[in-house]
């Protein structure tokens, strides 16, 4: 369901094998849910059950899984499989059998992927870019991102204040996990959960860079 599950590919595969299933990702991972549903349908499966897995605390709700599956189902030409979606998420392997027992079929009249509430760019003051490149991810940037979200919630900062974005590699990999704050052009390194909370309080709330983890910003000289 989230970036955290992308990192846990081996664990997800083990959970799926318990039920004779396969793994797909709702976001930021391959194969995507859309592509895996298409592969299964092309292989001639007549019935598919989709179960969301959340190993953290900030995954999208199960309702988002249903939206995405229903969108695929509406777009898929006949013949298409019967598809059901679990009504709640699996949080560890012990949940799987119970969650599989609580599913709802997709009918095609479910909510779509668009809403008037998602039309406009947010009015955020800052965009916080959390690196999810290979080194940063290996050194715990999933926990860094989660700590930022929770810290912003604790300070009552919403999307119109801080837009938190996961990125690919931001390049100063020796300082992983790396975070940058725009448009201030301030970069931080070694950002663990404690540093994320401090950066939120100092930079995003109080408006001053958190000196302890700030990285020097160098630029190449411009040619005349």
In the chain, how long is the greatest CA-to-CA distance? 68
CATH number of 126-214: 3.40.30.10
Picking from 211, 143, 112, 131, the residue whose alpha carbon sits closest to that of residue 171 is 131
pLDDT string in tens for the chain (224-residue length): 887 888 788 888 888 887 889 999 998 888 999 999 999 999 999 999 999 999 877 788 889 999 999 999 999 998 899 999 999 999 887 888 899 999 999 998 999 999 898 899 989 999 999 998 889 988 989 889 999 999 999 999 998 999 999 999 999 999 999 999 999 999 999 999 999 999 999 999 999 999 999 999 877 655 55
Say how many Å lie between the first and final Cα of the chain, rounded.
Answer: 49
What are the sequence ranges of the domains in the chain?
3-116, 126-214
CB 15 within 8 A of CB 96: yes
């Amino acid at each position: 369901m989230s970036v955290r599950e992308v990192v846990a590919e081996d664990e997800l595969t083990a959970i799926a094998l318990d039920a004779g299933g396969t793994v797909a990702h709702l976001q930021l991972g391959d194969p995507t849910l859309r592509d895996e549903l298409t592969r299964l349908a092309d292989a001639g499966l007549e019935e598919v059950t989709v179960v969301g897995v959340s190993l953290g605390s900030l995954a999208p709700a199960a309702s988002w899984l249903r939206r995405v599956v229903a969108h695929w189902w509406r777009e898929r030409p006949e013949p298409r499989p019967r598809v059901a979606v679990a009504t709640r998420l699996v949080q560890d392997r012990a949940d799987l059998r119970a969650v599989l027992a609580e599913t709802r079929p997709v009918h095609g009249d479910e909510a779509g992927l668009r809403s008037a509430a998602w039309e406009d760019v947010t009015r955020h003051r800052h965009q916080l870019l959390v690196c999810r490149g290979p080194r940063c991810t290996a050194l715990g940037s999933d926990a860094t991102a989660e700590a930022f979200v929770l810290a912003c919630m604790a300070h009552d900062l919403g999307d119109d204040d801080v837009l938190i974005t996961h990125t690919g590699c931001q390049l100063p990999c020796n300082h992983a996990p790396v975070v940058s704050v725009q448009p201030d052009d301030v970069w931080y390194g070694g950002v663990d959960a404690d540093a994320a909370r401090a950066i939120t309080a100092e930079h995003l709330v109080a408006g001053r860079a958190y000196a302890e983890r700030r990285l020097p910003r160098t630029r190449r000289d411009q040619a005349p």
